[in-house]
Amino acid sequence: METGNTHISVVYKVLLRALSRIRHLRPRVLALAAMPGIILALTGCHGSRGLDAFAMPQSFDTARQYEITFWAKNDTNKTQTAIYEKAITDFENLYPNVTVNLRLYTDYGKIYNDVITNIATKTTPNVCITYPDHIATYLTGVNQVVPLEELFDNEKYGLGGGEIRYDSPAKAEIIPQYLEECAFGGHYYAIPFMRSTESCYVNKTYVEKLGYQLPDTLTWDFVWKVSEAAMAKNQEGNYLINGQKVLIPFIYKSTDNMMIQQIRQKGTEYSTQEGEILLFSDATKQLLETVAEHAATGAFSTFKISGYPANFLNAGQCIFAVDSTAGATWMGCSAPLIDISADKLVEFETEVLPVPQFDPANPQMISQGPSVCIFNKDDPQEVLASWLFAQYLLTNEVQIAYAQTEGYVPVTSKARQSAEYQDYLAGSGEDNTLHYDVKIKATRLLLENVENTFVTPVFNGSASLRDAAGQLIEETVKSIQRSQTVDDAYYDKLYKDLASRYHLDGLSRPTETYAGEKDKLGPLPGPAVFLLVSLACAWALIVLYVISKKVRKK
């Protein structure tokens, strides 16, 4: 008998024998007795009372050393990384007792996940680039994020304060609209860092080739009309407009913005300020039906389904590419950053226009861009040091340098009106790197449209709602491409699916309160019952089998 082959049986015998050793009760009893103790100890460990509220210290203790962490987002752009690092070096020269540790991210979502993980271990960063939606969730913990009004208004260390070692802007020198965007629940929780909006990059050459004149402000009708007209093919299956096999006339990068802006342009919101969801309405259904209609002909697609709009635009395979103004650095045939091979580029004239509107007289566009928040710590001096660094990000050097990397605008009027920035704007077209004309056109678009920008309501869970809005469009287009029936019943089902996927049911709570109450759950759904019943039956059978074997042995 090969001993090598007996081991499974041996294991099994061991298991059975161990199971039958119920006689040896003492160790088991001891272990069982210890369990409640362990469990109690652990339950005590879960949950925390949060931190104490931040109290502004009288003065900044320059004798102590501080080490603060700064979590920053960059668009995988090495120039931006360099700007952060330079800002840190300059700040550390001004304040030698503060060391700043930089951690880079390329995705807001990952920053959000890591912050949440770190709240439990009290290792949140000091300064963090974030979105107000996420701050609303951080706020559900007690005193996690520092409210900033006291810091703003402090004479010594506030905005434009007397004892600041660099030239920080006064509160009035920050664009009021952007500052207001960072306020909710009655407090300021962040300072704006950079702002951008969405714009439509148009292949003007192709539009005129199709026989249309580009208006100053695009309308949805115009865009759909031109896109459909471009879908004409010749006999070999190549598109007439570009002579290639591939053409997607209208590509939208962030479908959540698409849905939100359309709803806003129609005169409603996608939720109330308190978080009551208005997204799943008939008006939304109509918007989706239009999208479905044009996705069916292949005239419309999204980034998640097809790829970067810039790549299609630059290869002459797209006419209307909607992306953030920050993405201007990649748009156009002479863009400084190109992601496709150079021989695929097509010559055309790029025009930068606001996103399509329903009412051209009242344009509405989303305002987006990173903001900076400060996390509370036990040591108020550390918080003050963090505030000093965060404020440094508002100085002209950092604002202008960062805004020049992509189509961002500085958030301070001080930076905007500076000679350096004005020179930069005036140099549009001088070269195809720093003064790339499409990028500057996009920047100017935002500068001229500040009053027409808006933000969405911020509450705990607004990030999920935003994702759900985008997914409405993504799912519709995907289903169309898979030739599924997209009708009223489909939309109803889609609403339900997304509401449960993003856990939107219990969302209507104001910020700064507990994260929800127990939702009333209905009866268990079929598969769940099946699972529980099968588990129970399986164990019953196992126990019966083992007992019967023992009985038979006896």
Partner 1 sequence: MQKNIQTEKQSRSTETPLSPNTSRKAGFFRCFSRCKGWLYLLPAMLFLGFFMVYPLIDVFVYSFEEGYNSASQTYFGTGTYNYSYVLHDPYFLQALKNTFLLVIITVPLSTGIALLISIGLNSIKPLRNFLQTVYFLPYVTNTLAVGLVFMILFKKTAYSDGLVNLLIQWFGGKSVDFISGPYWAKMFVLCLYTIWVVMPFKILILTSALASVNQDYYKAARVDGTSKFRTFMRITLPMISPMIFYLVITGFIGAFKAYSDAVALFGTDLNAAGMNTIVGYVYDMLYGDSGGYPSYASAAAILLFAIVLTITCINLLISRKNVHY
Partner 2 sequence: MKETAKSNGLQTEIGNQADYDSIGKKARSRRRVLDAITYVFLALWAVIVLFPFYWMILTSVKSYGAYNSEYIPKFFTLSPTLQNYVDAFTAVPLGRYFLNTIIFTVITTAIMIVVITLAAFAFARLDFKGRNLAFLLFLSLMMIPNELVIITNYVTITNLNMRNTFQGLILPSVTSVFYIYLLKENFEQVPDSMYKAAKVDGTSDMKYLLKVLVPISKPTLITITILKVIECWNSYVWPRLITDDEAYYLVSNGIQEIRENGFGRENIPAMMAAVVVISFPLIVLFLAFHKKIMAGVSRGGIKG
Q: Examine residue 14 and tell whether it contacts partner 2 (CB under 8 A).
A: yes
Beta carbon of residue 9, minimum distance to partner 1 (angstroms, whole number)? 6
Q: Give the nearest distance from C-beta 18 to partner 1 in angstroms.
A: 13
User: Is residue 219 at the binding interface for partner 2, with CB under 8 A as the rule?
Assistant: no
41 binds partner 2, rule: CB under 8 A: no
Q: Which is nearer to partner 1, 232 or 535 (CB)?
A: 535
Encoded one letter per residue, x for contact with partner 1 by CB under 8 A and - for no contact, window 403-432 reads: ------------------------------
Q: Are strands 191-192 and 371-374 parallel, antiparallel or unpaired?
A: antiparallel
Q: Does 36 bind partner 1 (CB under 8 A)?
A: no
The secondary structure element, H or E, covering residue 544 is helix 526-553
Question: DSSP alpha helices (H): ranges in 154-194?
Answer: 176-181
CB of 167 to partner 2, least distance (A): 32
What are 475-483's contacts with CB under 8 Å, separation 24+?
A: 476/288, 476/291, 476/292, 476/295, 477/291, 477/292, 477/295, 477/300, 477/301, 477/302, 477/305, 478/305, 480/292, 480/295, 480/296, 481/295, 481/305
The yes or no reply on residue 94 touching partner 2 (CB under 8 A) is no
Q: Where are the alpha helices (DSSP H) in 393-504?
A: 396-405, 413-416, 419-426, 437-448, 462-481, 488-501
| 93 near partner 2 (CB under 8 A) | no
Q: Closest distance between partner 1 and the C-beta of residue 4, in Å?
A: 6
Instruction: Report the distance separating Cα 183 and Cα 180, nearest Å.
Output: 5
When CB distances are held under 5 to 8 angstroms depending on the partner's kind, the choice from partner 1, partner 2, none that residue 121 binds is: partner 2
Quick one: 341 or 485, whose CB is closer to partner 2?
A: 341
Number of residues that bind partner 1 (CB under 8 A): 77
List the beta strands (DSSP E) in 96-247: 98-105, 127-130, 183-184, 187-188, 191-192, 194-203
Task: Report the DSSP beta bridge partners of residue 233.
Answer: 239
Single residue of 95, 131, 308, 502 touching partner 2 by CB under 8 A: 308
Q: Which is nearer to partner 2, 56 or 434 (CB)?
A: 434
CA atoms within 13 A on the CB side of 259: 28
Position 461 contacts partner 1 (CB under 8 A): yes
Radius of gyration of the chain (CA): 29
Task: Give CA–CA dist 554/548, Å, rounded.
Answer: 10
Whether the CB-CB separation of 317 and 306 falls below 8 Å is answered with: no
Name the residue nearer to partner 2 (CB basis): 183 or 246: 246
C-alpha–C-alpha distance, residues 406 and 337, integer Å: 10
* Residue 48 binds which entry of partner 2, partner 1, none, CB below 5-8 Å type-dependent: partner 1
Residue with tokens 């103004």: 325
Based on the number of CB atoms within 10 Å of its own CB, is 271 exposed (0-12), middle (13-18) or buried (19 or more)? Answer: buried
- Residue 337 interacts, among partner 1, partner 2, none and using kind-specific CB cut-offs from 5 to 8 Å, with partner 2
Can residue 78 be called a binding residue for partner 2 (CB under 8 A)? yes
Token pair for residue 450?
A: 């500040």
- What does 552 bind: partner 1, partner 2, none (CB cut-off 5 to 8 Å by kind)? none
Residues 246-275 that bind partner 2 (CB under 8 A): 246
Cα 277 to Cα 271: distance, rounded to the nearest angstrom: 4
Phi-psi region of 143 (alpha: psi -120 to 50; beta: other; left: phi over 0): left
Q: How far is the CB of 474 from partner 1 (least distance, A)?
A: 7
Q: Does the footprint of partner 2 cover residue 117 (CB under 8 A)? A: yes
Question: Residue 171 and residue 310: Cα distance in Å, rounded?
Answer: 37
Residue 312, classed as helix, strand or coil, is helix
Which option in partner 1, partner 2, none does residue 521 bind, with CB closer than 5 to 8 A by kind? partner 1
From partner 2, partner 1, none, interface partner of 478 (C-beta below 5 to 8 A by class): partner 1
By CB under 8 A, which span of 77-85, 211-219, 409-417, 458-466 interacts with partner 1?
A: 458-466
Choosing from 94, 538, 544, 547, the residue that interacts with partner 1 (CB under 8 A) is 538
- Shortest approach of partner 2 to residue 37 CB, angstroms? 18
> Least Å distance between CB 103 and partner 1?
18
Q: Is 417 in the site for partner 2 (CB under 8 A)?
A: no
Virtual torsion, Cα 484, 486, 490, 495, nearest 10 deg: 110
Instruction: Give the residue, chosen from 74, 80, 130, 137, that forms a contact with partner 1 under the rule CB under 8 A.
Output: 137
| Of 260, 259, 262, 280, nearest in space to 491 by CA | 280
**Cα–Cα dist 94/286, whole Å:** 57
Q: Which is nearer to partner 2, 123 or 484 (CB)?
A: 123
Residue 312 interacts with partner 2 (CB under 8 A): yes or no:
no
Given the complex with partner 2, which of 27 and 162 has the nearer CB atom? 27
Binding site for partner 2 (CB under 8 A): 3-5, 7-8, 10-11, 14-15, 17-19, 21, 24, 27-28, 75-78, 103, 106, 117-118, 120-121, 123, 246, 308, 311, 329-330, 337, 339-344
